[in-house]
Structure 1
């Protein structure tokens, strides 16, 4: 590595980027992120996850940092667990999606800033949530949400999600739809994106976009990759994501984040 940081902030997607397919942070990646943090680079995790299963990753990395969660709907200062920004969903915007899922027997969950709510929780769903360190709260009906919603997620086999994506495509919808994985579709208010949240955070810190590196692997990362001065896609990204990034690094199973930092973060002396 060289001597001077080229970027003052690095925005990192979590699943499929920071974590390998075993949901682990490799030692190479942990050590490299700890080094740039010690040298003054701000670490921002940008994810579709909520704070409760994102902030522990900062602890694993051994760094203080910030988390843009729920695909940009909630930003948390990880050092003091303070909400820096939040974009909530009005109840009437949720109703059509909830009805669609119920009619088709499709699993869905609704997130508040810090909690995840479901109407049913079978063995298959429990296994899925456990992988992401989530502990859902079961309600008799989502209409009984005790807290404002920030995101609704549909979950199912890729073919089912493909059809749902087609059904909800087009204009005139109250909420923005983003495919956050082969098995997931997320719905948030239109202004809730990782890119918009990153822009707002950079403004708070006085960091120009040219001083930001972002690394991600899926469609919900596109606004973030395109806002950053350098947007890097993982090798395991869909081709459209790679084509819209500035560069491509190795996959999440081959230390892609570590390799990108080593290659792009430093100005050579």
Structure 2
């Protein structure tokens, strides 16, 4: 099968645990693109720290960001597709986080906002610095220049497990998904990586069987099951592996490269 659109998760998939792109991954992606494949990064990140990865590989096209909530044209920086949420409906979640000392951020397509940015703990500040982000102070809703697309809570694995268990009991208007051990995200009920990938594929004229997707976490399951070929990384939880068609090597062993060599580059 010829795969014409290749969707890659970023953290835990394309990049290693130090947020680095291996030379093997880069070269195989560039070769596949040279052979005619179109790449799209599908990530929980925003476009601000996703587009530079594509540009560093010499690629254009699109990035699907915020777990599918905003798709952005790399060249023009235009938001070509998004799933806005009603910001006011986040208030019970914001109040809960404030009452329980849980860090959170509010995301527009290009903006990242937190409570009192200058008072962030070293742990929280280091988390943002690791992925090259600088949060701003959360303004009143009326002052946001873009629609809100994602809300994220951040904490220890135990804290996020407990938070997810609690919020699952709420009558929530949002799609809730774990994008990592330490993150719990809320988005529009129709938003997901799979939904955004499907909309982009249809826009680009690709059939599902022409789409190959790779990911490693729960927020990747929808795109792995949409794609004609869904590949999970070896560092994925068992539920993610079960949703995939096959498993490649881990993100620390250039699993993306090995999958591309098997299915795209040498075909």
Instruction: Write the mapping of 1:33-182 to structure 2, written as runs, cut at 5 A.
Output: 33-120=29-116, 121-139=120-138, 143=141, 146-147=144-145, 148-170=147-169, 172-182=171-181
Structure 1 gaps of 5+ residues are none
2:256 corresponding residue in structure 1 = 257
Q: Is 1:93–1:175's contact at 8 Å kept on the other side of the alignment?
A: no
Distance, in Å, in 1 between the alignment partners of 2:219 and 2:244 is 13
Give secondary structure in 2 for the equivalent of 1:76. Answer: strand
What's the offset of the Cα at 1:27? 0.5
What's the offset of the Cα at 1:83? 1.1
2:218 corresponding residue in structure 1 = 219
Deviations 1:101-132 (A, max 9, x none): 01101000000110100003232211110011
Q: Is 1:210–1:229's contact at 8 Å kept on the other side of the alignment?
A: yes
Distance, in Å, in 2 between the alignment partners of 1:189 and 1:244 is 23
Distance, in Å, in 1 between the alignment partners of 2:193 and 2:87 is 23
What's the offset of the Cα at 1:172? 2.6
Q: Is 2:32–2:265's contact at 8 Å kept on the other side of the alignment?
A: no
Distance, in Å, in 1 between the alignment partners of 2:192 and 2:29 is 24
Structure 2 gaps of 5+ residues are none
Q: Relative to 1, partners in 2 of residues 1:125 and 1:171: Cα closer, same or farther, differing over 3 Å? A: closer
Give secondary structure in 2 for the equivalent of 1:150. Answer: strand
What's the offset of the Cα at 1:240? 0.6
Give secondary structure in 1 for the equivalent of 2:172. Answer: coil
Give secondary structure in 1 for the equivalent of 2:7. Answer: strand
2:209 corresponding residue in structure 1 = 210
Distance, in Å, in 2 between the alignment partners of 1:142 and 1:150 is 16
- TM-score normalised to structure 1 length: 0.94
Q: Is 2:31–2:265's contact at 8 Å kept on the other side of the alignment?
A: no
RMSD: 1.5
- TM-score normalised to structure 2 length: 0.95
What's the offset of the Cα at 1:79? 2.2
Report how many residues are paired. Answer: 263
Give secondary structure in 1 for the equivalent of 2:257. Answer: helix
What's the offset of the Cα at 1:255? 0.5
Q: Is 1:117–1:142's contact at 8 Å kept on the other side of the alignment?
A: no
What's the offset of the Cα at 1:145? 5.1
1:11 corresponding residue in structure 2 = 7
Distance, in Å, in 1 between the alignment partners of 2:217 and 2:128 is 20
